[in-house]
Amino acid sequence: MRPDEPDRWLNAERVRTPADGTSRFEHLAPGRAIVFVDGDKAYIQSRSGKDLTRYFPELRFAPGRWVLDGELVIRDPEGNLEFDALQSRIHPAESRINLLAKEIPASYMVFDLLAEGDETLLGAPLAKRRARLEAIAERAGLEMSSASVSALFTKQPSQLKLTTLLALCTALQCTPNDLFELDTTPSG
């Protein structure tokens, strides 16, 4: 588990049909971050490899040994994501960082488990990683993202809103025709 290799942890691959027979879609806000938890210490890293730990002193992670993939998020009183507020948190002055941590606290929404203990899970099926993540999240009190492609297909595909389809296609880097070729069988 080394945070000095950001490409190892953050490079996703586009696949037509996942090997485990499921498809998942995660709404990603621009606060993508990898968290390395080792014992009672946590290191927060941006997609580009920048250390973000000092900017979010209010974030605490239960002791363990994991690499988590997720989003740093700030919500308004109605629960909507506030990207501008998140951007304001990256400030050079420590006094300002501490003030903003109290005034507009961030949280971390996890959506994937990349490693546990000394075991790298990058090649493991999503269903296996998700099951292990759910167990960790329950013990550690982590907030989990729960969006999935299968949840969007509870109606006939023709009833899906165009904006939902376009957002989904953008996230999956596919065309609407590609989308309907995906296996959306819910897991577990």
Which CATH number fits the domain that encloses residue 123?
3.30.470.30
Same domain, 164 and 84: no
Give a yes or no: residue 32 inside a domain. yes
Give buried/exposed letters for 117-135 (b at 16+ CB in 10 A, else e).
Answer: eeeebeebebbebbebbee
For residue 48, the 8-state DSSP code is T
The answer to whether 150 and 70 are in contact (CB under 8 A) is no
Write out the residue range of the structural domain in which residue 34 sits.
1-8+27-147
Highest mean pLDDT among 10-24, 121-135, 150-164: 121-135
pLDDT of residue 149: 40
pLDDT one-digit tens code per residue, 101-115: 999 999 999 988 999
Same domain, 134 and 84: yes
Angle (CA) 50-55-59 rounded to 5° is 110
pLDDT one-digit tens code per residue, 10-22: 554 444 444 555 5
The answer to whether 43 and 17 are in contact (CB under 8 A) is no
How far apart CA 149 and CA 118 sit, in angstroms, is 31
Q: Is 98 helix (H, G, I), strand (E, B) or coil?
A: helix
Give a yes or no: residue 102 inside a domain. yes
Quote the tokens at residue 37: 């938890």
pLDDT of residue 67: 95
pLDDT one-digit tens code per residue, 85-104: 888 899 899 999 999 999 99
Give a yes or no: residue 19 inside a domain. no
Please say if the pLDDT value at position 72 is more than 50: yes
